[in-house]
């Protein structure tokens, strides 16, 4: 992967993966417009990458959801990629790819931005490299810890708050969650490890232990549950705790699917292609939109002034012809009758006058707006001229 060198690209493009390898840089059009607009408003002497990183970080501190976060995410793409590649090398048995780790790390960019303090002498890339690596290592360690725990060991490691969140996250209603939580507490009361600390590979309880747990549950349910429900058997308790384990594993480490993976059931295309979402508009975006509107308004004013002045230089009969056609909306035959001439003469003069105006307007556009006069541009200018003539004479 060749590093980006152009400032516009650095703050507006993102890595695309081909399976587990870098594929290309994809451009975000909104970010590209934003950084180009910002560059145009500043002195060339401050156009260093580090300057813009600090600039967007300052904006992000005030407006965390602004477009600044997008620019900083683009800026840190290479750092995140190399951190993912370096860190994954230390976990040989990991099932995750570089692209998966990259996505896990870049999702934690808020931690990087919150922890970064330019006053401490770090630059953002150095700080991000350390933080991205820590994020990936922590996630992989959590996963490994969960993998090596037996179901019964995992149940002893969880807090009641975490277990409740896991069960609610699994879609169970509050009544069922209350029953499962009570069964889980009864299990922890009855089933205590024989050796302190030997909890990582805790075996499945014996049959008599399940009977004791069920007995305790049926006693406690009358006082601790709002809806005690039916008596539970040892088999019921074991089944409920198995559901608790499954919910806890899912909650602790949800399965990760790369957004660059092929769409399920399709021969081509990636999941990322189907993602939709609202783009958060920032104050800077509003400023850009407002400036675009102001620029268009100024252009319309300039065009109006130029055409008004150009028409004043036309011959008197040409100005009269435009007035009859556009202001009084007479047909060519009616104009010919009014001027006591032939229709084809009116048609020829009208066409000649339009071409004269179009030529003047095209030259002015090329000089003032630096636009190349392609056939499409000339066609658009012709349409613009026709609309302006109709509007100008219609308002008289």
The string of pLDDT tens digits covering residues 66-91 is: 899 999 999 999 999 998 888 777 66
- How many other CB atoms are found less than 10 A from the CB of residue 241? 22
Quick one: DSSP state of residue 278? P
Half-sphere exposure of 391 (CA within 13 A, CB side): 11
Residues 6+ apart with CB under 8 A from 166: 158, 244, 247, 248, 250, 251, 252
Of 51-55, 154-158, 236-240, 377-381, the least confident: 377-381
On average, the pLDDT of the chain sits at 80
Rounded-to-integer distance, Cα 105 and Cα 111, Å:
10
The alpha carbon torsion through 196, 144, 204, 152 (nearest 10 deg) reads 70
Per-residue pLDDT tens digits for 216-225 = 999 999 898 9
Q: Of 40-44, 224-228, 288-292, which has the strongest mean pLDDT?
A: 224-228
The answer, yes or no, to whether residue 339 has pLDDT greater than 50, is yes
The mean per-residue pLDDT over the stretch 244-256 comes to: 75
Burial code of 132-157, b = ≥16 C-beta within 10 A, e = fewer? Answer: bbebbbebbeebeeeeebebbbbbbe
Specify the pLDDT at position 236: 93
The mean per-residue pLDDT over the stretch 9-16 comes to: 92
The answer, yes or no, to whether residue 283 has pLDDT greater than 50, is no
Per-residue pLDDT tens digits for 126-161 = 888 888 888 887 777 666 666 667 788 888 878 888
Rounded-to-integer distance, Cα 95 and Cα 253, Å:
13
The answer, yes or no, to whether residue 173 has pLDDT greater than 80, is yes
Is-contact 75 124, C-beta < 8 A?
yes
The mean per-residue pLDDT over the stretch 331-353 comes to: 88
Rounded-to-integer distance, Cα 55 and Cα 41, Å:
13
pTM for the whole structure: 0.43
Q: What is the largest CA-CA distance in the chain?
A: 118
pLDDT band per the 50, 70, 90 thresholds, residue 195: low
């Amino acid at each position: 992967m060749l590093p980006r060198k152009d400032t516009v690209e650095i703050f507006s493009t993102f890595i695309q993966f081909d399976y587990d390898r870098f594929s290309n840089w994809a451009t975000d059009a909104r970010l590209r417009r934003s950084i180009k607009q910002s560059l145009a408003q500043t002195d060339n002497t401050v156009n260093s990458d580090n300057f813009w990183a600090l600039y967007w970080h300052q904006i992000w501190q005030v407006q965390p959801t602004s477009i600044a976060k997008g620019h900083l995410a683009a800026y840190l793409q290479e750092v995140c990629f190399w951190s993912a590649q370096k860190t994954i090398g230390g976990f040989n048995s990991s099932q995750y790819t570089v692209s998966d780790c990259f996505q896990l790390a870049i999702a934690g960019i808020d931690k990087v931005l919150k922890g970064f303090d330019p006053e401490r002498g770090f630059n953002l890339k150095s700080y991000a490299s350390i933080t991205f690596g820590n994020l990936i290592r922590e996630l992989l360690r959590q996963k490994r810890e969960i993998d090596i725990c037996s179901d019964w060991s995992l149940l002893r490691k969880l807090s009641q708050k975490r277990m409740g969140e896991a069960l609610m996250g699994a879609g169970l209603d509050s009544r069922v969650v209350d029953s499962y939580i009570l069964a889980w507490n009864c299990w922890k009361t009855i089933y205590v490890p024989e050796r302190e600390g030997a909890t990582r590979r805790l075996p499945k309880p014996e049959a008599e232990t399940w009977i004791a747990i069920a007995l305790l549950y049926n006693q406690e349910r009358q006082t601790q549950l709002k809806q005690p429900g039916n008596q539970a058997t040892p088999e019921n308790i074991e089944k409920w705790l198995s559901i608790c384990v499954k919910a806890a594993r899912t909650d602790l480490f949800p399965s990760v699917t790369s957004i660059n993976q092929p769409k399920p059931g399709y021969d081509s295309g990636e999941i990322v292609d189907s993602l939709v979402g609202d783009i958060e508009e920032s104050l800077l975006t509003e400023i850009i939109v407002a400036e675009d509107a102001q620029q268009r308004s100024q252009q319309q004013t300039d065009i109006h002034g130029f055409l008004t002045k150009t028409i004043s230089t036309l011959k008197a009969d040409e100005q009269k012809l435009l007035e009859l056609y556009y202001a009084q909306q007479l047909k060519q035959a009616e104009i010919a009758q009014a001027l006591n001439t032939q229709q084809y003469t009116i048609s020829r003069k009208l066409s000649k006058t339009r071409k004269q105006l179009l030529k003047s307007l095209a030259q002015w556009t090329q000089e003032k707006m630096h636009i190349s006069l392609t056939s499409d541009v000339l066609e658009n200018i012709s349409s613009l001229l026709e609309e302006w003539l109709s509007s100008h004479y219609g308002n008289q």
